[in-house]
Amino acid sequence: MQHRQGIGPARFAALITAFATAIIAAPTIAEPLGAEVTGTQVTITITNMRNTDGMVRACMTRDEDRFPRCQDATQGYRTVVPAGEATVLHFENVAPGTYAIALLHDENGNGRADRALGMMPREGFGFSRDAPVRMGPPDFEEAAISIGSSPFQQTIRMRYML
């Protein structure tokens, strides 16, 4: 996979919008996107939430080409929960493998990532391993976590640009 250099504001805005659109369609419980498997539990603790408004949308995928949007990812999990209940999320029956997690805090619950001036995200986002954001979402490798057969815990810090 090619490493991404900095990208322009328009590309950043497009990626955040695509990410939010894909996560918005997620089911309300953390369930496998593909065939059901037997595996372990992944627990995500979310920190730095600025309020309890709206929804938190989360996706966890093994498909590096689909990260962070998770759109059409068959090897992943999704969940959507009210932000007031989103301090801890659980993904059940997670098959062993390498995954990356993306979060979106849809504060007004309107089903889309709101942006200022058409470019800057107004709502929060976060990634596994607290992966850095440089003019766009991180690469899969920067957010990758390894899930084995034992329960796994990860803390993700929600970030807000405005």
**Beta strand extents in the chain (DSSP E only):** 31-32, 40-47, 55-61, 76-82, 88-94, 97-106, 115-116, 120-121, 124-127, 145-147, 152-157
- What is the tens place of the pLDDT at every residue in 24-59? 444 434 555 555 557 999 999 999 999 999 999 999
Please report where in the chains the tokens 């979402």 appear, as a residue.
137
CATH 2.60.40.1120 fits 9-157, yes or no: yes
Per-residue pLDDT, averaged over 9-28, amounts to 50
Please report where in the chains the tokens 């329960």 appear, as a residue.
151
- What is the tens place of the pLDDT at every residue in 50-106? 999 999 999 999 999 889 877 777 778 999 999 999 899 999 999 999 999 999 999
Domain ranges (residues) in the chain: 9-157
